[in-house]
């Protein structure tokens, strides 16, 4: 039994004698997907899932929060269930303490957030909402509000890596190697009348693992999917001017790379995102951001001698989005709502000008009644195989989902 469950059991006797309030929600979903997000040739996947969240509040003992899902799928390995969050929160004066499994989201830019490293994702999970791919690490978080802003510190004894799609190849076995070290983070948030921002520091496990050659034997080749230590110094900023919102986010990431010839580690890099969101006539909004990524000690894996190590190094650079020394691109999001917000439609995506790769997405939602919502969408990846987004071309999908919430 995990530490999170022990925490909940320890608090139950106290809650039994206290005045408590329970807030809860449950969502039952059924969906149809044209394919999976695991780079396989599976098609025609049916899904059924239950998503729940509950908060138990007590003035004396704080609150207990639980969030999780259970899922069954017809032709995919991403089935079963997951406790996304399970933590105890206690507020006293200007301090707030959280203990347990908690999702922490950093970054003020839209969708592309180089400072967001505290919570892993399951990129193979079939859900229309990207944020639902997240789950939390077990740890302790303490924040303090003052006239100078909010200072937050977090510590986690262990950290999980994200679950990424891995191309199935004949004779190749993947072995996941999680981190055994702890991680910690600090963030200072400042909020004003029309502007806010933060400065942050992260020392822990990079959510995106690296691919490392594990050797070739009689049974085939081994690729190690290894968690990597990283330190990230970041900052973000947003301001509102009239009906326009401006956002910016930057981060410098430093790993254990030994230089240009080291393809076993992610290279140090600097990432920047900046742009605006405008209110169009009616209820429509348009957001556009420019992106820039610079890789230090860059080297092209295609220059290596042909063989197993070269192939793994090429896939590693594509997975880490480090196939070029500099990458310029942009993101966009055009959204609108109709029928008193019953119907919504969004067209969004990201394009890498440097290598010609990208993703285009269309998402629609229609609320049939208070409990019933229909959703549909499409993810379309494009570009060369030797690129972060182009390598995901086999994950192009169409989907529909009906959701009953109560």
pLDDT digits (tens, 9 = 90+) for 220-244: 999 999 999 999 999 999 999 999 9
Contacts with 196 (C-beta within 8 Å, 6 or more apart), sequence order: 108, 189, 190, 237, 238, 239
Work out how many domains the chain is built from and give that number: 1
State the average pLDDT over residues 193-214: 96
* Rounded Cα gap, residues 135 and 83, in angstroms: 7
* Global pTM value: 0.93
Mean pLDDT of 64-83: 89
CATH number of the domain to which 56 belongs: 2.40.160.10
Cα dist. 224→160, 210, 268 in Å?
Answer: 15, 8, 21
- Other residues' Cβ atoms within 10 Å of the Cβ of residue 186: 13
Over residues 84-101, the pLDDT tens digits come to 999 999 999 999 999 999
Q: How far apart (Å, rounded) are the C-alpha atoms in residues 288 and 331?
A: 6
pLDDT at 1: 46
Supply angle C-alpha 178, 100, 131, rounded to 5: 70
> In whole angstroms, how far apart are CA 220 and each of 10, 105, 154, 281, 306?
48, 39, 42, 59, 17
pLDDT tens-digit profile of 104-162?
Answer: 999 999 999 999 999 999 999 999 999 999 999 999 999 999 989 999 999 999 999 99
Residues composing the chain? 406
- Examine the pLDDT at 375 and tell me if it is beyond 50: yes
Provide CB contacts within 8 A for 375, sequence distance 6+: 128, 363, 364, 365, 366, 399, 400, 401, 402, 403
Residue 218: which pLDDT band, with cuts at 50, 70 and 90?
confident
Instruction: Please tell me the distance from the alpha carbon of residue 207 to that of residue 341, in angstroms, as a whole number.
Output: 35
Q: Which range of residues forms the domain containing residue 25?
A: 3-405
Answer for the pair 115, 234: CB distance below 8 angstroms, yes or no.
Answer: yes
Kind of pairing, strands 62-73 and 80-92?
antiparallel
The C-alpha angle with vertex 344 and arms to 338 and 346, in degrees rounded to 5, equals 130
Using alpha carbons, select from 406, 385, 329 the residue that is nearest to residue 26.
406
């Amino acid at each position: 039994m995990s530490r999170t469950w022990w925490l909940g059991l320890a608090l139950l006797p106290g809650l039994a004698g206290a005045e408590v309030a329970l807030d809860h929600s449950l969502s039952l979903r059924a969906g149809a997907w044209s394919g999976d997000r695991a780079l396989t040739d599976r098609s025609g996947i049916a899904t059924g899932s239950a998503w729940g969240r509950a908060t138990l509040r007590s003035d004396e003992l704080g609150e207990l929060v639980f969030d999780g899902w259970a899922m069954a799928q017809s032709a995919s390995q991403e089935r079963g269930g997951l406790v996304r969050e399970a933590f105890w929160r206690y507020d006293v004066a200007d301090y707030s303490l959280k203990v347990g499994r908690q999702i922490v989201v950093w970054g003020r830019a839209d969708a592309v957030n180089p400072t967001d490293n505290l919570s892993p994702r399951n990129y193979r999970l079939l859900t229309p909402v990207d944020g639902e791919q997240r789950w939390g690490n077990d740890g302790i978080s303490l924040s303090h509000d003052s006239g100078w802003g909010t200072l937050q510190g977090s510590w986690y004894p262990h950290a999980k890596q994200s679950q990424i799609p891995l191309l199935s190849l004949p004779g190749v076995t993947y072995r996941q190697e999680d981190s055994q070290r702890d991680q910690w983070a600090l963030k200072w948030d400042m909020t004003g009348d029309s502007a806010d921002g933060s400065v942050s520091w992260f020392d822990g496990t990079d959510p995106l693992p690296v691919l490392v050659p594990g050797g070739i034997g009689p049974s085939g080749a081994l690729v190690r999917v290894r968690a990597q230590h990283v330190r990230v110094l970041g900052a973000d900023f947003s301001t509102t001017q009239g009906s326009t919102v401006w956002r910016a986010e930057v981060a410098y990431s430093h790993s254990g790379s030994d230089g240009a010839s080291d393809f076993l580690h992610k290279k140090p890099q600097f990432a920047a995102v900046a742009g605006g969101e405008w209110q169009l006539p009616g209820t429509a909004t348009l957001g556009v951001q420019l992106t820039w990524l610079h890789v230090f000690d860059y080297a092209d894996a295609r220059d290596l001698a042909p063989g197993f190590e070269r192939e793994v190094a090429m896939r590693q650079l594509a997975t880490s989005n480090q196939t070029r020394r500099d990458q310029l691109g942009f993101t966009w999001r055009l959204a609108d709502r109709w029928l008193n917000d019953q119907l919504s439609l969004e067209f969004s995506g990201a394009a890498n000008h440097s290598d010609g790769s990208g993703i285009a997405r269309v998402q629609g939602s229609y609320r049939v009644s208070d409990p019933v919502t229909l959703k549909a969408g499409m993810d379309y990846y494009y570009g060369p195989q030797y690129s972060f987004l182009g390598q995901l071309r086999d994950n192009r999908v169409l989907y529909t989902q009906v959701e009953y919430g109560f």
